[in-house]
Structure 1
Amino acid sequence: MNPTKASLLNLLSEKVYSMYERIDTFIIDTYNVDLKWDNGGKYGAVCLRYSRSGKTLCTLYFRKEQLGIWIILGKEERKKFDLERENFSDYVKEKYDETTVLHDGKWLMFDVDNCDLFDDIVMLLRIKKTPNRQLTMCGYCCDMCKAYKGNIKKKDEREELSKAWKIYYELNMPAEAIQCDGCRCRKAEAHRIDDHCPVRACVLHRKIINCSECKEYPCSLFLTRKGLSYEEANQIEEIDVANYYNYLMAFDNKSRLDRIKKGK
């Protein structure tokens, strides 16, 4: 099941979709997770699970003008919640107190139709998992990229990536030629697809972490390596949100760095 943005907007409404989009971009900007879309069964029309190595960060259920958010807190995570309790809204504290502890933890379930609980959800996610996303110097996402050496070893999807690059970037690169150690790799023999990237050279020269720290961002040099947002890719050829995430979102650096600049 691979929904499009239009189908999710139609299901949720703009107001609820805004909450989903904020949660989704926070998770994707912050955590190295896999996304799995599925049928929501009795809990919703569509289900989206964020997980890694068999451990679920949270699950979203999409319903008519409503978003269900499920987060399970285990024993150690409940200790962290107790330490940070006063930072949460009264509603979340009440929901937490009334939720029974099961064998695998507290199943916190929130049914939302606006963005009021966004800050609470972010705090719960930070309790659940320490941020671990890896960004390149221009804001690409190594751990999302199917060209990244570690991801190729785990699951080789270079054929699909090669097709996506040809369609959306007019880049003709055979699958077997696609492999990258990332711009932060310090090995002398490091292999990078964009070995002469001017943005990398500039970031190293300025001694900053990435382009978002530069007062000239977004400069003309950065824009030579700007990736496509979902909307821009969809204008070239319609793409569902799952395939965009799998093969193109790693390169949507401007949207990502814009959010970092704004402190989101």
Structure 2
Amino acid sequence: MGNKWDKMNKASVPELSTITEWVNDELWNDLLAYMDTTYKARISIDYSGCGMAPGWNVKFKKAGKSLCTLYPQEGWFVALVVIGQKEKSEMEETLWTFTEYTQNLYRQTKEGMGQRWLMFEVKNAEILEDVKRGMLLRRKVS
């Protein structure tokens, strides 16, 4: 690969293209295109020292509301979608229509302050579709 980018290097803010090259995953590219065409979401690249997922991440917001945060890994990525009180009942009513992976993730994720922080390991197209559906609960598309 030859890419020398270090996701833990807090001193050097990466470009989105650098992160994309490092992740090197079509699912990542698909989600970036979806976020652009569907939401025209604002992107911010931030560094997190949090123990759950330290390093650089890519946040998407629309109308001041967080849609998702992507945590790049080499060859794949994690997508965080927060299911809050407003989305909870719809998520639970439709949970059976999501993949078994997402059903288990939702059930195993503890609720805190009325929210579930779903950390999807996006390793196939079905999980990516669940991520997109989770975001649709947060922000409907007109």
TM-score, normalised relative to structure 2: 0.78
Distance change in 2, residues 1:4/1:34 (3 Å): closer
Correspondence for 1:90: 100
Which structure exhibits the higher relative contact order, with contacts defined as CA atoms closer than 8 Å and separated by 6 or more residues? 2
Correspondence for 2:112: 102
Give CA deviations for 1:40-65 in whole Å, capped at 9, x if unaligned.
44525421111134321110011222
Correspondence for 1:11: 22
Alpha-carbon separation, structure 2, partners of 1:120 and 1:107: 14
Correspondence for 2:129: 119
Structure 1 residue 104: Cα displacement: 4.3
1:56 aligned counterpart, secondary structure: strand
Larger radius of gyration: 1
Correspondence for 1:60: 70
Larger proportion of helix: 1
Alpha-carbon separation, structure 1, partners of 2:74 and 2:108: 26
Identity over aligned pairs, percent: 19
Is the contact between residue 80 and residue 117 of structure 2 (CA under 8 Å) also seen in structure 1?
A: yes
1:24 paired to 2:32? yes
Alpha-carbon separation, structure 2, partners of 1:4 and 1:100: 31
Structure 1 residue 70: Cα displacement: 0.3
Correspondence for 1:166: none
Alpha-carbon separation, structure 2, partners of 1:100 and 1:35: 28
1:128 paired to 2:138? yes
For structure 2, the 5+ residue unaligned runs are 1-12
Is the contact between residue 40 and residue 61 of structure 1 (CA under 8 Å) also seen in structure 2?
A: no
Alpha-carbon separation, structure 1, partners of 2:82 and 2:129: 17
Is the contact between residue 73 and residue 107 of structure 1 (CA under 8 Å) also seen in structure 2?
A: yes
For structure 1, the 5+ residue unaligned runs are 133-264
Counterpart of 2:42 (choices 34, 58, 61) is: 34
Alpha-carbon separation, structure 1, partners of 2:140 and 2:100: 24
Larger proportion of strand: 2
TM-score, normalised relative to structure 1: 0.44
Give CA deviations for 1:124-144 in whole Å, capped at 9, x if unaligned.
111111014xxxxxxxxxxxx
RMSD of Structure 2 on Structure 1 (CA): 2.0
Alpha-carbon separation, structure 2, partners of 1:59 and 1:115: 18
Alpha-carbon separation, structure 2, partners of 1:128 and 1:31: 12
